[in-house]
Amino acid sequence: MASFADQTGTFFTEFFALDPLAATAAGMHDHDAEWPDLTEAGRVARLAFAERWASVFAAIPATELNQDDAVDQRLLLLVLDEMRFEDLELQQLAWDPLEWVYVMGAGIFPLVAREFAPLADRLASIAGRLEGLPTLIDAARAGLVGTTDGRPVARFHAETALGQLPGIGELIGDALAEAEAAAPTVPAVAAVLERLRSAAATGVEAVARAESILRNEVIPRSSGEGRLGPDLFAAKMQRTLRDPELTPTRIHDRASTEADAVRAEMVRLAGGMWSTWCPGRPRPATDGELVRGVLDALGGEHQAPADLLDFCRAELGRIEEFCRAQDLVGLSDEPLEIRWTPLFLRAFGGAMLDSPGPFDRGQKAFFAITPIPDDWTPEQAESYLREDNDRMLRVLTIHEAVPGHYLQGAYSNLCPSLVRAVFQSGVFAEGWAVYVTQVMIDVGYGADDPALLLTHWKFYLRAALNAVIDVRIHAGEDFGGPLTEEQAIELMVEGGFQEEAEARNKYNRARLSSTQLSTYFVGSMALWELERDVRRKLAGNQAATVVERPIPGGFGPTPGFSQRRHLEATMGHGTLAPALLRDLVLGDVPGA
């Protein structure tokens, strides 16, 4: 019988051939000129692959594996189950046109943005994918007809896809412009230029045809909402979290309770800040008006739209210096670029972090911020900037960069397990960024600025409300009916002190996605529980002294506990779902 390492090696060879976009994302570039087969025949092939490999890995007795391999075995079985779920039950490519835009962007953007190979080689791969784009569009046209069990194409997703589709043409233009600029001095680029020009024309024509299909065929017959409903949402949530214990109802109730506790803390903080930020004004009669009044004053301190990137770059330097001074965590010298979000990824607004895959270690990570849309009114733009004011940008830079997503991604790429490096857990990644922001606050970052602490709690409150909105939009039948737009906006603006522009963006994001918005809160909750249990194990017979607050963090000193050691140990196992991570981290902690 082949060893587990040999079997996983064979598995990945087949998997990357089956899904060239996953290969590109991982930094395995043998299939960079190819698209996945997203026809019905491709779906059948993926299901056969998942069934066959699930049988292979399930047949291995876990007792014959060491602890790390046993965790990888469990993860592979979960991933293969997720593949079957996607193709048999969720079938997102049949009803979500936006997913097709993401597929196209994922096929081109990494090849343009990351210098993992000589430019000529990357341009040749781009040409190959552009030459295959008409076939991909044919598959989308044939597949976007709804599901056999009656889920129609979602209209809002289709309309959003139409708005994002020009971003694919922008990527094609970027690739061609880079080639034409380099060709006069780089012979290898000159040799591929004519092929790329022809492929670019093919790609642009394919994008135009996709736009026509969306506008004239898909949108007129689209009638779906995109909501999953309680049963499908619960099934997807189980797979997103890789933890069957966390049901939508449990998540909703826990998030609602924590939101109440955070609001109470914000009321306390705002009460002490009122005279500083609202001098000469009488203290409001209600708690909500008190917090809103202070946050409104803070919101006035924001950057001009063109200065957002430079502000975050400067803040990143301050954060890294603080981490060094506190010896909080080992930093990385992997390159990070702070840039505007590519057009094809702007449907969700806000910010994002795109890390290189494990085979592309040393390539740039991108901390991307979505610029204010050109068609927004001055009032909308001001609302957006007041939400992402100077202090919120400081919190956001921790979340997206250091010690958040960027640093965690750099550590993940050092993990020797390819299984964990490729099949990353969104609930760990998003939860980490929320959790570690609170860690920064606990160790004193911004301790001289109470307004930063209030802003941080507003950001955390947003994470809790994200989970509530996610559940109640997609599984609202279990809570008296799905949230309407008005109800969702009221919850975020009145219950979360958000600006209306941010709230409307989040409502749209919740409609366009499912389960992802819950990962921030759920992952953070799980990581705080893990830190609590590590501290209690170290404390031994004094475990009772590790007391949780109604709000996260704030444990204080624990004998034998090193924050740096814990952070690095938690990141050191790859981007692994907390349900799989717990035993690995706790197993390395001395104690009873």
Q: Are residues 218 and 97 in the same domain?
A: yes
Residues 266-304 have pLDDT tens digits of: 999 999 999 999 999 999 999 999 999 999 999 999 999
Q: Are residues 70 and 151 in the same domain?
A: yes
Does pLDDT of 555 surpass 60?
yes
- In this structure, what DSSP letter does residue 545 have? G
**Helix 578-587 to helix 426-442 angle, to the nearest 10 degrees?**
60
Tally of domains within the chain: 2
Same domain, 294 and 326: yes
The DSSP line for 461-522 is HHHHHHHHHHHHHHSGGGGTSPPPHHHHHHHHHHHH---HHHHHHHHHHHHH-SSGGGHHHH
Q: What's the pLDDT tens digit per position in 368-389?
A: 999 999 999 999 999 999 999 9
Q: What pLDDT, on a 0 to 100 scale, did the predictor assign at position 221?
A: 96
131 and 56 inside one domain: yes
Report yes or no on 167 lying in a domain.
yes
In a domain, 96, yes or no: yes
d(CA 36, CA 42): 8
What is the residue range of 268's domain? 248-483+516-520
Identify whether residues 109 and 191 lie together within a single domain. Answer: yes
pLDDT tens column, 92-106: 999 999 999 999 999
pLDDT at 558 over 90: yes
Please report the pLDDT score of residue 1 as a whole number: 56
Q: What is the mean pLDDT of the chain?
A: 96
* pLDDT at residue 592 tops 70: no
Are 310 and 215 in a shared domain? no
Assigned domain for 583 exists: no
Q: How far is residue 585's CA from residue 572's CA, in Å, rounded to a whole number?
A: 9
pLDDT score, position 486: 96
Q: Which of 468, 502, 520 is the last residue of a domain?
A: 520
Half-sphere exposure of 391 (CA within 13 A, CB side): 23
Last residue of a domain, one of 172, 204, 235: 235
pLDDT in tens, 303-345: 999 999 999 999 999 999 999 999 999 999 999 999 999 998 9
Query: Does residue 493 lie within any of the structural domains?
Result: no
Q: Is residue 30 part of a domain?
A: yes
The pTM score is 0.96
253 and 227 in a common domain: no
Query: Rounded distance, CA 326 to CA 354, Å?
Result: 27
Interval 515-523 mean pLDDT: 98
One domain for residues 212 and 338: no
pLDDT digits (tens, 9 = 90+) for 224-273: 999 999 999 999 999 999 999 899 999 999 999 999 999 999 999 999 99
Strands 351-354 and 365-369, how do they pair? antiparallel
Token pair of 309 as six digits: 């990137």
Q: Judging by beta carbons within 10 Å of its beta carbon (0-12, 13-18, 19+), is residue 565 exposed, middle or buried?
A: middle
Predicted confidence at residue 590, as pLDDT, reads: 86
- Among 235, 263, 286, the domain boundary falls at 235
Asked if the structure places residue 419 within a domain, the reply is yes
| pLDDT tens-digit map of 37-85 | 999 999 999 999 999 999 999 999 988 999 999 999 999 999 999 999 9
| Residue 152 belongs to a domain | yes
Q: Are residues 34 and 74 in the same domain?
A: yes
Q: Report the pLDDT value the prediction gives residue 62, as an integer from 0 to 100.
A: 85
**Is residue 474 predicted with pLDDT exceeding 70?**
yes
Examine the domain organization and report whether 145 and 268 are in the same domain.
Answer: no
| Stretch 106-128: mean pLDDT | 97
For position 350, what pLDDT does the model report? 84
- Asked if the model's pLDDT at residue 91 lies above 60, the reply is yes
First to last CA, the chain: 38
In a domain, 43, yes or no: yes
Whether 165 and 219 have beta carbons less than 8 Å apart is answered as no
Q: Are residues 219 and 254 in the same domain?
A: no
Is 323 within 8 Å of 403 (Cβ atoms)?
A: yes
Q: Verify that 197 and 252 share a domain, yes or no.
A: no
pLDDT tens for 394-453 read 999 999 999 999 999 999 999 999 999 999 999 999 999 999 999 999 999 999 999 999
